[in-house]
Structure 1
């Protein structure tokens, strides 16, 4: 017969294993690489960077919405690029005769194929969300699912 201490130790070890299993399967935030990006719809296909425990690559996530903060500066710079180019090449202002606005532009856009992004997984099913600030009722009881991922920032 096993002692109470042995039983308690076995219970504790098994509980910790179960806890680890649960934590591994709750998705919250992760790093991913952008595989495809639709700049008009602001959605991306991404490849999570962390492999599964056995070394297998994680499956790609498709049509993940991109937060405005990830692409807004890119669009603003694109909007002003013609004006800055004109100023660089043909300024009549003495202070701007040697301006180099375009030379100071970032070499690449922040939100692009190959960018490393931070992805957040929403707590609840967002299928019924219409993209506005209105409240909504989740369609299912789904929680912390990859189906409800959102790209929240560009890391690299």
Structure 2
């Protein structure tokens, strides 16, 4: 039985939409994750993406993800100032240290936003390095090339 041109166009349209969705679904741009382990000395973290796949399967963890400076800088400043602020508190009977966050902003268990770089970043030196580099592979928009750019939730009291 011959299909009408209209039915054939509808099938082509549906096929193209599925094809487009397949391509877009494979491109990773950014995702929400939970910090499983934060490594303060290297400013990297192991993370677990929060979104499951459409069939409910839990995503694999990503290891040694670089953490943006804005996620941990306040923690390091507080750590450096706390001894001096404690001395001031004792001298002046003030309560400055009590007003500092109880927990670090960047720590195990917090939700974060990770962005995925366009290219493989294996040959990038990391940190503040601004070296030009040749990508190690042809990977594009792969979550293995993610960087944590923000910590979600929290407040000035509890971190």
Q: Deviations over 1:70-110 (max 9, x none)?
A: 1011000110001111111222xxxxx4x221121112111
Instruction: Name the CA distance, whole Å, in 1 between partners of 2:72 and 2:48.
Output: 19
TM-score, normalised via structure 1 length:
0.92
TM-score, normalised via structure 2 length:
0.90
Counterpart mapping for 1:79-98 below 5 A: 79-91=80-92, 97=93
Instruction: Name the CA distance, whole Å, in 2 between partners of 1:110 and 1:21.
Output: 37
| Runs of at least 5 residues in structure 2 that lack an aligned partner in the other structure | 154-159
The answer to whether structure 1 residue 143 and structure 2 residue 102 are counterparts is: no
The answer to whether structure 1 residue 10 and structure 2 residue 11 are counterparts is: yes
Instruction: Name the CA distance, whole Å, in 1 between partners of 2:152 and 2:83.
Output: 28
Instruction: Name the CA distance, whole Å, in 1 between partners of 2:139 and 2:52.
Output: 23
Q: Secondary structure at the match of 2:6?
A: helix
Moved over 3 A (4+): none
Count matched residues. Answer: 150
| Runs of at least 5 residues in structure 1 that lack an aligned partner in the other structure | 92-96
Instruction: Name the CA distance, whole Å, in 1 between partners of 2:86 and 2:19.
Output: 60
The answer to whether structure 1 residue 113 and structure 2 residue 114 are counterparts is: no
Instruction: Name the CA distance, whole Å, in 2 between partners of 1:114 and 1:48.
Output: 12
